[in-house]
Amino acid sequence: MTKLSVNINKVATIRNARGGNTPDLLQVARDCELYGADGITVHPRPDERHIRRADVPALRAVVRSEFNIEGYPSKEFLDLVLKAKPNQVTLVPDKPGQLTSDNGWDTVTHQEFLKDVLDDLRGAGIRSSIFINADSRMAEYAAKAGADRVELYTGPYAEAYTRNREAAIEPFLETARRVRQLGIGLNAGHDLSLVNLRYFVETIPWVDEVSIGHALICDALYMGLEKTIAAYKDCLKK
């Protein structure tokens, strides 16, 4: 069964809007696990507009499922994750002020840079994942750089899903097949939701993990966190 990692960035955004500790980020992480999440994802950005650097060691101390940290591999980010030693680090090519991750790495152009970063993560015993577009060549060069997994940027799939879901998923299916041939793991994330998630994992059942934040937290405003996580887990059943 594909694992569900809940991205709790949006919870931190709400907390930061008023200061203090409401909602309690650590309790939300505990509750996500209690309600069935297989992992917790965070993306600490340089401006700390949602997850703060100080949240990372605090979460590391309470998360009992898989802990995944996303981010651009700056020196500050690498120092943070090498100290925290999460289960997985997902490398994204975001600029410092970027609103959200909206593109994958050019793993050809940045091959040597990524290889050095991946070597550091491997040396620390941390599983690595590289965020890529649905492009078999990018997957091939991610594998050459030494990535344990790739994460497919699924924004274009979600955007095109309601128009023609078969056409929307075709490049992702092609890339996923190549990833499987390469013998590395496969994650997916961005704009996956209760509308489009089931079809994605039914078509590509060897996806190891999906990371979902924005849509899941929005659904939880109406359904409650426990029922929402159950609904997403139900989409992942094979």
Q: Is 222 exposed, middle or buried (0-12, 13-18, 19+ CB in 10 A)?
A: exposed
70 is annotated as an active-site residue: yes
Domain count within the chain: 1
Q: Please identify which of the residues 66, 151, 190, 209 carries the catalytic annotation.
A: 190
Domain range for 7 = 3-235
43 is catalytic: yes
Report the chain's C-alpha Rg in angstroms.
Answer: 17
Instruction: State the pairing for strand pair 209-212/185-189.
Output: parallel
Q: What is the CATH number of the domain that holds 164?
A: 3.20.20.70
Tell me which of 33, 43, 140, 151 is the catalytic residue: 43
pLDDT in tens, the chain (238 residues): 999 999 999 999 999 999 999 999 999 999 999 999 999 999 999 999 999 999 999 999 999 999 999 999 999 999 999 999 999 999 999 776 655 667 899 999 999 999 999 999 999 999 999 999 999 999 999 999 999 999 999 999 999 999 999 999 999 999 999 999 999 999 999 999 999 999 999 999 999 999 999 999 999 999 999 999 999 999 999 7
- Segment 199-203 long-range contacts (CB within 8 Å, at least 24 positions apart): 199/161, 199/165, 199/169, 200/154, 200/157, 200/169, 200/172, 201/2, 201/235, 201/236, 201/238, 202/238, 203/169, 203/173
Given 33, 70, 140, 209, the catalytic residue: 70
Based on the residue annotation, tell me whether 190 is a catalytic residue of this protein.
yes
pTM for the structure as a whole: 0.95
Residue given tokens 């599983």 in the structure block: 127
